[in-house]
Structure 1
Amino acid sequence: METTNFTTTIVVDNSASEVFNAINNVRAWWQGEIEGNTNKLNDEFIYRMGEIHYSKQKITEFIPNEKIVWLVTDSKLNPLKFKDESEWTGTKIIFEITEKNNKTQVRFTHVGLVPAFECYGDCSWAWGQLIEESLFSLITTGKGVNVFG
């Protein structure tokens, strides 16, 4: 069984500091409702997209301009679509920031979101849109985009 975690990478001309600040401005790039703080170690926040998605994240690593890790402490995915509504619980969402050749790379990995997950297709597609389009736009233009219509 394949256990590859979902990952995607973007490269921008912005500084690591600008990238770090954009990632932590979660409300600007992750569509849905966000409750709580999202910008320092041990912050906890809840993300909701109607009845489709609920997850609670705790920031467990916070290294300025280098790395951010969210631990998903609770989750409930669309019960009409998925048998295991809590697939995300216990997974980690990681943003790794590196500078190279006057560019900044963001490597996004959802550790635990693997092809064996029932939600892998939908969730990996959504993360791809959010990171490659909305977060990329926020970093490069100052405004995230609504990727879910």
Structure 2
Amino acid sequence: MNDFTTSITIKRPPEDVFRAVLDARGWWNEAIEGPTSAVGDEFGFEVAGLHRTRMRITDVEPDRRITWLVVDNFFAFVEDQSEWVGDLIEFDVVPDGDGTRLTFTQRGLVPGLECYDVCSNAWVFFVRDSLRRLAEDGKGMPESSAGRAAPAARARAAAEALAEGAAPA
């Protein structure tokens, strides 16, 4: 299976990167409701008319690994609403020279899914840009409930194309 994965090196120690990953409001979505740091925690958010999701934390190894289970998900731009449900989202944190290697994997997000292009591009933005900035500079670029980050604009375009009967870009 070709699960989506992306890796970056962040110029901070593992404990700083790990702490940034736990702060999902600071890099993924400001509107997250619920705790985001301990095994059993459940959290979620909604970008009105576009995306709603709920995660459960299933694994936390301090300064090393965090795993989320997708327990509910809705995308306005796909027909198959089972996409993402049951997927595992993993953050692996490993010391790397003077920094930290962060590897993000979504087990179940594979080429061929309707959301693959939009979702993989969104994760690249949120992990490589927003999460990196939060860890290195203390200020990420999270989405809001209004959907103002770049990935939301691409997802909205896909939703509009689907509604018009065209293939999403």
Quick check: TM above 0.5?
yes
Task: Give the counterpart of 1:74 among 59, 69, 72.
Answer: 72
Mark the runs of 5 or more structure 1 residues left unpaired by the alignment. Answer: none
Q: Identify the structure with the greater strand proportion.
A: 1
In the TM superposition, what is the alpha-carbon distance from 1:28 to its structure 2 partner?
A: 0.4
Task: State the TM-score, normalized to the length of structure 1.
Answer: 0.93
Q: Distance in 2 between matches of 1:138 and 1:32?
A: 13
In the TM superposition, what is the alpha-carbon distance from 1:49 to its structure 2 partner?
A: 1.5
Task: Give the counterpart of 1:105 among 92, 101, 107.
Answer: 101
Task: Give the counterpart of 2:24 among 23, 26, 29.
Answer: 26
Task: Give the counterpart of 2:117 among 112, 115, 121.
Answer: 121
4+ residue runs of structure 1 moved beyond 6 angstroms?
none
- Tell me, what secondary structure is at the counterpart of 1:35? coil
CA contact (8 A) 1:91 1:110 kept: yes
- Does residue 1:145 correspond to 2:141, yes or no? yes
Q: Which has the larger radius of gyration?
A: 2
Mark the runs of 5 or more structure 2 residues left unpaired by the alignment. Answer: 144-148, 151-169
Q: Identify the structure with the greater helix proportion.
A: 2
Q: Distance in 1 between matches of 2:75 and 2:44?
A: 13
In the TM superposition, what is the alpha-carbon distance from 1:86 to its structure 2 partner?
A: 2.7
Instruction: State how many pairs are aligned.
Output: 145
Task: State the TM-score, normalized to the length of structure 2.
Answer: 0.82
In the TM superposition, what is the alpha-carbon distance from 1:32 to its structure 2 partner?
A: 5.0
- Tell me, what secondary structure is at the counterpart of 1:36? coil
